[in-house]
Amino acid sequence: MASFFSKLFGGSSDKAASGSKREEPVSYNDYVIQAAPEAAGDQWRLAGVIIKQADDGPLERKFLRADTFPSRDEAVEFSVRKAKQIIDEQGARLFADGEPSGRA
């Protein structure tokens, strides 16, 4: 019964609680990719982080796309693919501003 009221009044579900948890790092060229799909209703939205080590510490670029997938595992797989595509297309320009965090 408590579960019913929790859902009815906006309590977090297990899916929502694990929504943006970062996955294990994946190395690609000189970058590190961490998929972090976000819960979107019954679907999972493609999202993640691209990290580059700099002299002053790590630089991060977060990305979020409209693409959704029925399972978190599938969203993780496509998030890594998308990050590789972003790296291939933008390369060093992705971190040209030198800011520690931002959006891709």
CATH of residue 97: 3.30.160.350
9 has a pLDDT exceeding 50:
no
pLDDT tier for residue 13 given thresholds of 50, 70 and 90: very low
Task: Tell me, yes or no, whether 56 lies in a domain.
Answer: yes
pTM: 0.78
As a dihedral over the C-alpha atoms of residue 58, residue 23, residue 28, residue 98, rounded to 10 degrees, the angle is -20
As a whole-number percent, the residues of the chain with pLDDT over 70 amount to 81
Task: Tell me, yes or no, whether 30 lies in a domain.
Answer: yes
Q: Region 70-90: what's the mean pLDDT? A: 97
pLDDT tier for residue 4 given thresholds of 50, 70 and 90: very low
Q: Region 50-61: what's the mean pLDDT? A: 92
Domain containing 63 equals 22-103
Q: What is the pLDDT of residue 102?
A: 80
CA distances from 73 to 3, 17, 45 (A): 26, 16, 11
The total number of structural domains in the chain stands at 1
Task: Tell me, yes or no, whether 7 lies in a domain.
Answer: no
Which residue's structure tokens are 């982080």?
49
